[in-house]
Chains A and B, each alone.
With several copies, the nearest count.
Chain A
Amino acid sequence: MGFLDQIYRDAVLEHARSPRNRGALDPYSVKQEGINPSCGDELVLYLLVRDGVVEDARFAGHGCAISQASASMMTQAVKGRAIAEVETLIAHFKAMIHGKGADPSLGDLVVLEGISKLHARVKCATLAWVTLDAALAAEAAGQRAGQVSVDEGSDGSA
């Protein structure tokens, strides 16, 4: 299963088995639901944003190893970062997962790069990130909750 090993790297399986930052956050500034209509998986992302900084992030919901690992690593990566930095990270992550190479700023997240070769699973990896994107937009608009589908904001690589 050489091909599988490239996708399900040890770090990915480890995060999937023991996800970080799982559960609800209270208080939170925004609670965003993200769904993948093609499989029915859902993720609930909680952010606590203060003074332009993501102070805390947690997630709940159900999904495959890839979506869970991606969400777990994402929450780790964004905690304590300024919103502008997080937005750059989102852009870099999406670029990587669509096969456009991994920016060094992605750090540990590069273990997810292999998924770019498994087109059928790209949406699993991006679910958390699309949800994060929508959460930041909701937060900026002064909303405390929202729902987004991973099909939205497609960039042609649907």
Chain B
Amino acid sequence: MAIDAAARRGDFPILSRRVHDAPLVYLDSAASAQKPERVLAAVDAFYRGHYANVHRGAHTLSAEATAHYEAARVRVARFLNAPSERSVVFVRNATEGINLVAHAWGRQALHAGDEIVLTVAEHHANLVPWHLLAAERGAVIRGVPLGSDQRVDMEALAAAIGPRTKLVATFHLSNVLGVVNPVARIAELAHAVGALFLVDGAQAAPHLPIDVQALGADAYVFSGHKVGAPSGIGALWVREPLLRDWPPFLGGGEMIRTVEVDRSTYADIPMRFEAGTPAIAEAVGLHAALDYLDDLGLAAIWDHDRALARYAIGRLRALDGVTLYGPEGDDRGGIVPFNVADVHPHDVASALDARGVAVRAGHHCAQPLMRALGVRSTVRASFWLHTTRADIDLLVEAIEEVRDFFGAVA
């Protein structure tokens, strides 16, 4: 079933809002997705009917809340096609998931001179945790450049991976270039040298079918807020035999087996990695969001996304003075960065906002990539299942007016 985006708009209450007297055209889904009614309703019903702390109480509400929370874990495992929910850990967001790996795995596995392979197109979330870890452990980071086609340079990647490589960490779908990384191929390269392979799925999760087993990932992270779930929840999946061996990261209630005043022993997975009261209602919301996406079908969403990308790229390319970034092809989803000649991206974004069109401007938490593209920042329009061609037409119209309005402002 193809996505009927115009009909889907009705699923998102906020899309009926007006901004500066214009109807809202939300083209910032890559920063954070809006929430379908179904998610809001699920969270609200949970608080009104079943809320309590989890894993703790001997009473009905607590048992119900625990069942809801653990059902969400099973749901995430299914969404990722993970073999078991035992190695699904709830975190705040993709960022925390990556930091968890850096601490629990990295602080014991990395030694001086060991190497971490990253690409210049990573989000800061998949750079900074490794900077902090490398500084502590004396490890070396190898940055892989883009090829001339603005995809990750696979030859350079293969060359960067060597006998000292302990980790390869890269994105599944780029939050700027909109392109899918050949993850399964990278997994082979990483595994050939025995390195851990972590995939940052923050942008892929809302857009593509994910199968962590087919991808060959050892660890996979994503954020709930980008898939239409509430803020404050995300998930980390790690291959089970690996996760079982990692020491704890955060300490506190729920993750223990026995505690004395000066020492403790720790619970088995996944509890070992979930210290304290978790984001309970947020997990329930994540469950509802994944149901919503799977009902529509990730394959259909990905088709819709790519069709919109082709349409938008075609229309924007026809505009004088607009520069587009990112590759074209069947591996290109609906994230479209561009610049307007002689107008700063922030001014473009404000001018679009004045017409109700919400886009992002800046470095998109990808400063190294900006440098690789030879820019300081870009405008970025990003699409999702509720985005229509009409939205893109409004974007194009608004960009035309921007040029008129600003004339040449350096």
Contacts and interface: CB of A to CB of B under 8 A. Distances in A.
> Is there a contact between chains A and B in the complex with CB atoms less than 8 Å apart?
yes
A38 B56 contact: yes
Contacts of B376: 40-41, 62
Contact of A120 (B350, B351, B370, B377): B350
A65 B406 contact: yes
Given A38-B56, A156-B74, A120 B353 contact: yes
Interface string A45-63: 0000000000000000011
B234 to A, nearest CB: 20
A8 B346 CA distance: 12
A40 B267 CA distance: 12
Interface in A57-103: 62-66, 68
A118 interface: yes
A150 to B, nearest CB: 10
Contacts of A124: 346
B405 A16 contact: no
B405 A65 contact: no
B239 interface: no
A124 B58 CA distance: 10
Nearest to A153: B268
Contacts of A152: 268
A111 to B, nearest CB: 15
Given A1-B401, A119-B67, A37 B267 contact: yes
Contact of B354 (A1, A37, A149, A157): A1
The residue in B62, B86, B343, B346 that gathers the most chain A C-beta atoms within 10 A of its C-beta is: B346
A67 to B, nearest CB: 8
A94 to B, nearest CB: 16
Interface in B357-410: 361-363, 367, 370, 376-377, 401, 405-410
A65 B350 CA distance: 11
Contact of A158 (B70, B258, B407): B70
The residue in B70, B258, B347, B405 that gathers the most chain A C-beta atoms within 10 A of its C-beta is: B347
Contacts of A141: none
B377 A4 contact: no
A8 B350 CA distance: 10
B271 interface: yes
A151 interface: yes
Contacts of A8: 347, 405-406
Interface in A1-53: 1, 3-4, 7-8, 13, 16-17, 35, 37-41
Contacts of B42: none
B213 to A, nearest CB: 18
Contacts of A40: 362-363, 367, 370, 376-377
B154 interface: no
A144 interface: no
Contact of A66 (B63, B346, B353): B346
B63 A118 contact: yes
A61 B194 CA distance: 45
Contacts of B57: 120
A151 B354 contact: no
B408 A17 contact: yes
B70 A121 contact: no
Interface string B183-213: 0000000000000000000000000000000
Contacts of B258: 35, 37
A56 B134 CA distance: 44
B48 interface: no
A97 B82 CA distance: 25
Contact of A64 (B55, B66, B271, B346): B346
A91 to B, nearest CB: 18
Contact of B410 (A1, A17, A38, A158): A17
B408 A1 contact: no
A149 B346 contact: no
B121 to A, nearest CB: 16
B18 interface: no
Interface string A95-134: 0000000000000000000000011110010000000000
Interface of A: 1, 3-4, 7-8, 13, 16-17, 35, 37-41, 62-66, 68, 118-121, 124, 149, 151-152, 154, 156-158
Interface pairs A-B: 4 shortest CB-CB = A64-B344, A119-B63, A120-B63, A64-B346
Interface of B: 20, 55-60, 62-64, 66-67, 70, 74, 84-86, 256-258, 267-268, 271, 343-347, 349-351, 353-355, 361-363, 367, 370, 376-377, 401, 405-410
17 contacts: A1-B351, A1-B355, A13-B409, A17-B408, A17-B409, A37-B256, A37-B257, A37-B271, A39-B362, A40-B362, A41-B377, A120-B59, A120-B353, A121-B346, A121-B350, A156-B85, A158-B66
